[in-house]
Amino acid sequence: MKTLLICPSRRPAVPHLVAFGPLATTPVFGDSVICYWIEHLAALGAREVQVVAPDGAAQVRAAVGDGARWGVRVSVVAAGVEPAMDEAALQYNPEKGPGWLPAPHDIIRMSHLPGRPAMPLYDSYASWFAALVDWMPFARTPSRVRVKEEQPGIWVGSRARVSPMAKLVAPCWIGDQVFVEAGAEVGPGAIIEDRSIVAGMARVTQGWVGPDTFVGPMTSVANSLAWGCTLVNWQTDSALHVPDPFLLSSLTKLKTAEATDRFGRALAANGWTGSHSHLIDELHARVGNAPG
């Protein structure tokens, strides 16, 4: 059974999300938007998924491969523009052939997550965040491993390390290999993507923290999307490039022991004397060095 999946082109209401590449590949609860769709379509009986990518076809291809992950055949085709539903129908399935999934699953525009048409992803940053919080209970798909609902509304990755002195408030999601220090407060309405660190005394409420992101000690990410050093307030649409790494920064930049040590000194210089050594040990471990 065949189906057509149309990726979104860039959306003017959420310009900063393209920092992750084409919108179809934005990381959401540790997996990309398009991957949730393909798993959903495979469960509906699709054996062949044709993907139309008006933006970043190469990256979309890298994200889905050949579909072996779901046991379906996936092919990604680049397109100049994002086709409308009827255009796509005309171009790809004019005869409404029998080999296709029945409508409305024959042609899908990925403007929302599977089964959640009332939660548009790209109307605004606020709608993006609302759609994510809405998706939280569904992110743990049947083929998902390494995340458990530890308490109602609190999902924690099995390789995450959350200090017993940290406070988690439902609904919240702690991703794979995330480190949450003592005194941190995560939730309500908090999503921490894979490998990020929430330092001591930091707070994330009604906020999304992207992957590989350092949320510095005593900071507050509220009503905002934070990734690397970018901070977008989803209520006001204001976007800030945070100048100081010890406040908010990308962990992928800390690739060497020297960079980690410099970072540690910056933390100390800015008065952070809390569980400082644990944090630095954690950073060093990620770089692949023994604790200094």
User: Which residues are at the interface with other proteins (CB under 8 A)?
Assistant: 39, 42-43, 65, 67-71, 141-146, 148, 158-159, 176-177, 195, 212, 218-222, 224, 231, 233, 236, 238-240, 242-244, 246-248, 251-252, 270, 285-288
Give the shortest CB-28-to-other proteins separation in angstroms: 18
Closest approach, Cβ 171 to other proteins, in A, equals 22
**Does residue 152 contact residue 169 with C-beta atoms inside 8 Å?**
no
- 260: its two tokens: 């980690």
Q: How far is the CB of 90 from other proteins (least distance, A)?
A: 33
109 contacts 11 by C-beta, under 8 angstroms: no
Q: Which is nearer to other proteins, 91 or 252 (CB)?
A: 252
Structure tokens given for 98: 């029998």
As measured in angstroms, the least distance from the Cβ of 180 to other proteins is 17
Instruction: Considering the complex, state which of residue 65 and residue 99 has its C-beta at the smaller distance from other proteins.
Output: 65
Nearer to other proteins, 73 or 109 (CB): 73
Q: Least distance from C-beta 119 to other proteins, angstroms? A: 23
Q: Which helix (H) or strand (E) is 231 found in, with range? A: strand 230-233
Q: Least distance to other proteins from the beta carbon of 11, Å?
A: 21
Residue 199 near residue 209 (C-beta atoms within 8 A):
no
Please, which residue, 88 or 226, has the CB nearer to other proteins? 226
- 163 CB neighbour count, 10 Å cutoff: 16
Tokens of 3: 């189906």
DSSP 77-115: EE-SS---HHHHHHHH-TT--TTBPPTTSSEEE-SB-TT
| Closest CB 145 distance from other proteins, rounded Å | 5
Percentages helix, strand, coil for the chain (3-state, rounded to 5) are 30, 25, 45
- Check the CA dihedral 63-141-33-47 and report its sign: positive
Strands of the sheet with 220-222, listed across from one edge: 167-168, 185-186, 203-205, 220-222
By beta-carbon proximity to other proteins, the closer residue of 92 and 272 is 272
9 or 249, CB closer to other proteins? 249
For the CA atoms of 254, 255, 261, 266, the dihedral, rounded to the nearest 10 degrees, stands at: -20
Cβ neighbours of residue 267 closer than 8 Å, sequence gap 6 or more: 216, 217, 246, 276, 279, 280
Q: In the complex with other proteins, which residue's Cβ is closer, 126 or 239?
A: 239
Q: Which is nearer to other proteins, 7 or 42 (CB)?
A: 42
The least distance separating other proteins from the CB of residue 139, rounded to whole angstroms, comes to: 14
Q: What is the largest CA-CA distance in the chain?
A: 68
